[in-house]
């Protein structure tokens, strides 16, 4: 795969930035509920609060949808993220609730798209967790059993049965969910929030938050917001504000690449008849999906830890794009001559438990992180559940109860430093090498060194 003409962007490959960015806050205001962060979680919270008659202010540092909301791969997952075997082992009581939350999240987003009339090229194809080796196929079988036992709608199959390319051996399909253009989706929610009664201030970075006298004071360079309640929806950026519970989320940089348009006949020859998005069973998954513009978007595989706050506005590293291109060639040897056209990336928030979570600090500050690479479905749903929790005087939906933290205390991240991440990446590549050698040996070719 050629990577010499890649367009590197600091925003997203899916859409352009909106032309109607709202004015920053330039005076002091008061409100019932303030929401900090205009991503999927924050916009969904503000929209729901406004729809339920609350006086709400939304503050966003850039423009709503500027974060991972518009940058993700657009794969709407119907099952939880993270290492399922590990989560089931460590949190056996919580796990069925997390599975139900994940599935309801995907349904919620499908209804939201319909209700708001958002044109985001949504296709209800489901997604396939695919194996690239016999070892991964064993893992797929074990994970399928665990998910089915917890009530998830997943089915096991070979690549032919699942309608995915033959570069994958097989896998399980999450039948709930699908794929979309996430940039169009997030700008669609943005339009709905701007049209609602919520007061939205963009280009308004919150610099500090203090509490006292039963209210919250939110500082920005243009003015202060005094609110009775606050919702923190800052995802990976949470550590920039001292009010955020320590270690709520670990910031990780994730990269996506899009190919040049591919001849439809060549795409048809792949046997990707289901059009389902695909994620592999590596420790750091690879994701692959078709787009309506006859391209393939692919990414992750090599992730990078945010070193310090504030997190920089950045482009992907050329070395990471080259590594992703090597992965693409391995999975799609017939498309090895296709060029990578553009690359972008974003900051995702990983929780140290790898579970989506929500909670409160005292009784007037609420937080949530529903990311772990699966927030396209989960963040909007969780945002809406938190809004209902606030309006309903502390009542919690069953799905919110499943994630609720009694105390805002979070463990230390394990293996998430730069050396740990490099080691995990190297283990994945070593396994790929062994599997490549075995494949070549089976074909009678010389093993790859």
Phi and psi for 127 in degrees, rounded to 5?
Answer: -135, 150
Q: Does 241 bind ligand FAD (CB under 6 A)?
A: yes
Residue selected from 173, 199, 205, 282 as contacting ligand FAD according to rule CB under 6 A: 205
Specify the DSSP class assigned to residue 113: H
Q: Does 72 bind ligand FAD (CB under 6 A)?
A: yes
Q: Does 188 bind ligand FAD (CB under 6 A)?
A: no
Shortest Cβ 12–ligand FAD spacing (Å): 9
Q: Where are the beta strands (DSSP E) in 285-416?
A: 286-290, 296-300, 304-305, 340-350, 357-361, 365-369
Cα 99 from Cα 14, distance rounded (Å): 29
Q: Does 257 bind ligand FAD (CB under 6 A)?
A: no
Q: Does 345 bind ligand FAD (CB under 6 A)?
A: yes
Q: Where does this chain touch ligand FAD (CB under 6 A) — which range of 16-24, 54-62, 168-176, 350-358?
A: 54-62
Numbers of helices and strands, H then E, in the chain? 12, 20
Contact 281, 130 (CB under 8 A): yes
Q: Between 25 and 162, name the residue whose CB sits nearer to ligand FAD.
A: 25
Residue selected from 54, 125, 175, 234 as contacting ligand FAD according to rule CB under 6 A: 234
Q: Does 50 bind ligand FAD (CB under 6 A)?
A: no
* Per-residue tokens: 220: 């920005």
Shortest Cβ 273–ligand FAD spacing (Å): 21
Residue selected from 14, 33, 38, 272 as contacting ligand FAD according to rule CB under 6 A: 38
Q: Does 71 bind ligand FAD (CB under 6 A)?
A: yes
Q: How far is CA 32 from CA 79, 363, 440, in A?
A: 34, 14, 64
Angle at 21 between CA 20 and CA 27, to 5 degrees: 130
- CB proximity list for 440: less than 8 A, separation 6 or greater: 446, 447, 448
Interface of this chain with ligand FAD, residues 101 to 140, rule: CB under 6 A: none
**Number of residues binding to ligand FAD, judged by CB under 6 A:** 43
The residues binding ligand FAD (CB under 6 A) are: 36-42, 59-62, 66-69, 71-75, 77, 205-206, 233-237, 240-241, 254, 256, 299, 345-346, 348, 371, 373-377, 379
């Amino acid at each position: 795969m050629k990577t010499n003409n890649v367009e590197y962007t600091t925003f997203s490959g899916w859409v352009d930035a909106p032309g109607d960015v709202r004015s920053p806050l330039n005076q002091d205001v008061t409100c019932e509920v303030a929401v900090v962060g205009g991503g999927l979680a924050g916009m969904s919270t503000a929209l729901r609060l406004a729809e339920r008659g609350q006086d709400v202010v939304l503050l966003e540092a850039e423009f709503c949808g500027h974060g991972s909301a518009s940058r993700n791969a657009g794969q709407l997952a119907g099952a939880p993220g993270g290492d399922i075997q590990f989560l089931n082992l460590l949190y056996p009581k919580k796990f069925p609730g997390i599975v139900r939350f994940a599935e309801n999240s995907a349904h919620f987003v499908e209804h939201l798209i319909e209700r708001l009339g958002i044109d985001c090229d949504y296709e209800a194809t489901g997604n396939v967790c695919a194996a690239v080796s016999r070892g991964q196929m064993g893992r797929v079988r074990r994970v399928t059993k665990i998910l089915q036992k917890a009530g998830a709608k997943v089915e096991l199959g070979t690549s032919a049965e699942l309608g995915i390319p033959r570069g994958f051996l097989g896998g399980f399909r999450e039948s709930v969910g699908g794929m979309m253009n996430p940039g169009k989706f997030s700008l669609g929610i943005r339009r709905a929030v701007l049209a609602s009664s919520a007061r939205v201030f963009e280009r308004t970075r919150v610099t500090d938050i203090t509490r006292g006298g039963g209210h919250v004071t939110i500082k920005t360079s243009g003015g202060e917001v005094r609110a009775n309640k606050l919702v923190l929806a800052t995802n990976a950026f949470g550590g920039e504000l001292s009010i955020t519970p320590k270690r709520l989320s670990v910031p990780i940089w994730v990269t996506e690449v899009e190919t040049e348009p591919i001849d439809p006949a060549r795409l048809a020859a792949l046997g990707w008849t289901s059009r389902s998005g695909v994620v592999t069973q590596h420790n750091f998954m690879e994701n692959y999906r078709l787009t309506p513009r006859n391209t393939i978007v692919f990414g992750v595989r090599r992730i990078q830890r945010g070193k310090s706050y504030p997190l920089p506005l950045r482009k992907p590293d050329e070395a990471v794009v080259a590594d992703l291109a090597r992965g693409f060639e391995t999975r799609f040897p017939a498309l090895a001559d296709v060029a990578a056209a553009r690359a972008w990336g974003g900051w995702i928030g990983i929780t140290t438990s790898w579970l989506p979570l929500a909670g409160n600090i005292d009784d007037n500050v609420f937080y949530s992180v529903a990311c772990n690479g699966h927030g396209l479905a989960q963040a909007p749903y969780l945002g809406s559940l938190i809004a209902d929790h606030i309006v309903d005087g502390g009542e919690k939906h069953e799905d919110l109860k499943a994630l609720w933290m009694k105390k805002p205390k979070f463990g230390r991240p394990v293996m998430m430093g730069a050396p740990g991440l490099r080691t995990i990446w190297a283990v994945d590549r070593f396994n790929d090498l062994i599997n490549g050698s075995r494949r070549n040996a089976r074909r009678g070719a010389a093993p790859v060194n």
